[in-house]
Amino acid sequence: MLTAHERAEGGALDSKSDRRATFDVAAIRADFPALDQEVHGKPLVYLDSAASAQKPRAVIAAMDSLYLHDYANVHRGVHELSQRATRRYEGARDRVRDFIGAGDSREIVFVRGTTEAVNLVAQSFVRPRLQPGDEILITGLEHHSNIVPWQLVAEATGAKLVVVAIDEHGAVSADEFAAKITERTRFASFAHISNSLGTVLPIEAMIAHAKKAGVSVMIDGAQAVPHRHVDVRALDVDFYAFSSHKMYGPSGIGALYGKASHLEAMPPYQGGGEMITKVSFEETVYNDIPHKFEAGTPNIGGAIGLGAAIDYLNGIDFDQLAAHEESLLAAATTQLVDLGGITVVGTAPEKAAVVGFVIDGVHPHDVGTILDREGVAVRAGHHCAQPVMDHFKVPATVRASFGCYNTMDDVVRLVAAVEVCREVFR
Amino acid sequence: MSDLRDLYQEVILDHNRQPRNFGPLETASHKADGYNPLCGDRVTVYLQIQDDRIDDVRFDGAGCAISTASASMLTDVLKGRSLEEARAVFDAFSRLVTADSTELNLSDADRELLGKLLVFQGVCEFPARVKCATLVWHTWSAALSQETDAPVSTEE
């Protein structure tokens, strides 16, 4: 029998269908209780969604209802609660499959987040294929989580990390990428969208170049999935990873898509319960994919929260969302530049809703404090992308990032708060 | 705005714009590097110490206004002090920037030792910024023990 919540989850699309007609940002804001508060005596303006996004009531309610009614361990019990928890957990996997256009739920591995997904692929798929002198290809705008796991396997095998340079706008050229592919290239991994600059990479062309050379590809989609539709089969990508917490779901959970043929051929990443079918002291038979990669009791509540976040996003028209975020990005960029004495860092032609900037004579860390006192939450720092900061010769930037709930009023408040910074430092 | 002025006082902004004793000290007998990986602030403290007295002290590096002003004012305040006095200033400064304002308990002697460093009292209202003010002091302390090989960090 379906629980009340399972029925609600099944019907989520219908109940949200009115959101598709027009992009109603006021209605969306009302879904996010945390936005409705004052910080330092001023209404909160949350411009740090690229670090982590706020959560809609539907996500909080889905996790609540699990713990209030349906919680038990998954894939183990014959009892009713375990059956319900398992149905909801596997239901979330099916939602992830549909959300990114995968054909088969077995190709969806639940992980802690994008970072764990990259480490899994690096250790389990790439490392066994590497010989000394082999090359792994990344780009100059990667997050540390798409650099360090490759350095670890390179160090262990004698392989080399090869980096495709970014240009002065923070863009990556598919031709430059193609030029770096050699007969020693064994794997390529790059972001769909840069976390620090907002640059959208030409991933279709980059994947095509890699395919032509027989090189498998992983995409770090952490910054992409909250903003645009992803279709892993249309991309014909080997691996695609993202985190739940940047797409309005809970933290500590994410998903790795991998082609079934790859996942089946890969050795397990971690050992334990859940990932086996038979264990004796002489021999262990591993479970089928994806469970082979999910050792131990998984993040059940997290997965169900992620499923609810997908339902929520499915109720939003992504084309309208993209147009809305683009208008916020354009307004924020223009108004900041018009103030004078401000440099926008990252001006690639195609960008997601991220503005990185520095104010002449004011360190980003001081800007972060002053904006916070004005009620405006931004990230100030190196954004776990120190090589990008080095490229632009800045120690850090201020990053304002927009999500589905941000408004033109938020842009006005950001610009006013930046003026306060300049007043303090006059 | 008023609480921002408690943090960004004119003296602090002035030391940020024109840091004193900035640049390497060729004759340094002690030296240490400090680094805050969270915000990327870097500072190097150079000391010329003779007979337990700080004859000269300089710094270089790059950081936010609070860390730059703190470093600049450290050099101003410590130059010519005995090591014993300097340690007492460090102790009083640590209490100044970390104490809740209601429990701050500084003696007249502490206040005299701190002198113009008292402008950093506003930092305790901004917990995220305490490390900016203390980075250079931990680096100075490390330089005393000549721990010059490994960079000092305010992160455990």
Residues of A in contact with B39 (CB under 8 A): 365, 380-381, 396
CA–CA dist A88, A298 (Å, integer): 13
pLDDT digits 0-9 by tens, B67-95: 999 999 999 999 999 999 999 999 999 99
Chain B: nearest CA to A289, how far in angstroms?
Answer: 38
**Domains plus CATH for chain A?**
80-314 (3.40.640.10), 318-424 (3.90.1150.10)
Identify from B4, B130, B155 which residue to disrupt to test chain A contact, counting A C-beta atoms within 10 A and taking the largest count.
B4
Q: Would you give the distance in Å from CA A426 to the centre of its chain? A: 38
Q: Could you give the C-alpha distances from B134 to A233, A243, A267, B89, in angstroms and in order?
A: 52, 35, 48, 12
pLDDT digits 0-9 by tens, B132-147: 999 999 999 999 986 4
Put simply, the answer to whether B41 touches A370 (Cβ < 8 Å) is no
| Confidence at B150, pLDDT banded by 50, 70, 90 | very low
Residues of B in contact with A420 (CB under 8 A): 1, 4
Q: Is B8 on the interface with A (CB under 8 A)?
A: yes
Output the pLDDT for position B5: 87
Q: Which residues of chain A have pLDDT under 50?
A: 11-20
Q: Could you give the C-alpha distances from A105 to A8, A92, B90, in angstroms and in order?
A: 21, 10, 60
Q: Is B34 on the interface with A (CB under 8 A)?
A: no
Chain A: nearest CA to B55, how far in angstroms?
Answer: 31
Respond yes or no on whether ipTM tops 0.90. Answer: no
Output the pLDDT for position A20: 46
Q: Is B22 on the interface with A (CB under 8 A)?
A: no
Output the pLDDT for position A415: 98
Output the pLDDT for position B147: 45
Active-site entry in A117, A217, A384, A421: A384
Q: Is A141 on the interface with B (CB under 8 A)?
A: no
Chain B: nearest CA to A426, how far in angstroms?
Answer: 9
Please give the DSSP secondary-structure letter assigned to residue B123: G
Residue A148 has a CB neighbour count (10 Å cut-off) of: 15
**Domains plus CATH for chain B?**
2-146 (3.90.1010.10)
Residue of A nearest to B123 (CA): A369
